[in-house]
Structure 1
Amino acid sequence: MRGHRAERGMATAELAVVIPAVLVVLALCLAGLGLAADQVRCADAARVAARAASRGDAVGEARDAAARVAPEGSRIDIDVGGGEVVVEVTAPARKLLFGGPAARSRAAADLEPGAAPAGR
Structure 2
Amino acid sequence: MGRCERRARSAPRDGGYVTAEAAIAVPALVALLGMLLWALGAVATQLRCQDAARAAARAAARGEPPAVVLQLARAAAPGGADVQLRDEGDLHHVRVVARTPGPAALALDIGADAAAHREPGLP
TM category (shorter chain) comes to: 0.7 to 0.9
Structure 1 outlier segments of 4+, above 6 Å: none
Amino acid at match of 2:33: L
TM-score computed with the length of structure 2 as normaliser: 0.85
Out of 59, 68, 85, the residue aligned to residue 61 of structure 1 is 68
Give the total of aligned pairs: 116
The share of aligned pairs that are identical, in percent, is: 35
TM-score computed with the length of structure 1 as normaliser: 0.87
Where does 1:1-120 land on structure 2 (aligned, <5 Å)?
Answer: 1-96=8-103, 98-115=105-122
**CA RMSD, aligned part only?**
1.7
Deviation at 1:83?
1.2
Of the two, which has the highest radius of gyration? 2
Amino acid at match of 1:70: A
- Structure 2 unaligned spans of 5+: 1-7
Say which structure is richer in helix. Answer: 2
Give the 3 Å change call, closer, same or farther, for CA 46–19 of structure 1 in structure 2. same
Give deviations 1:21-44, integer Å, cap 9, x for gaps. Answer: 000000101111111111111110
Give the whole-Å Cα distance in 2 for the aligned partners of 1:93 and 1:27: 14
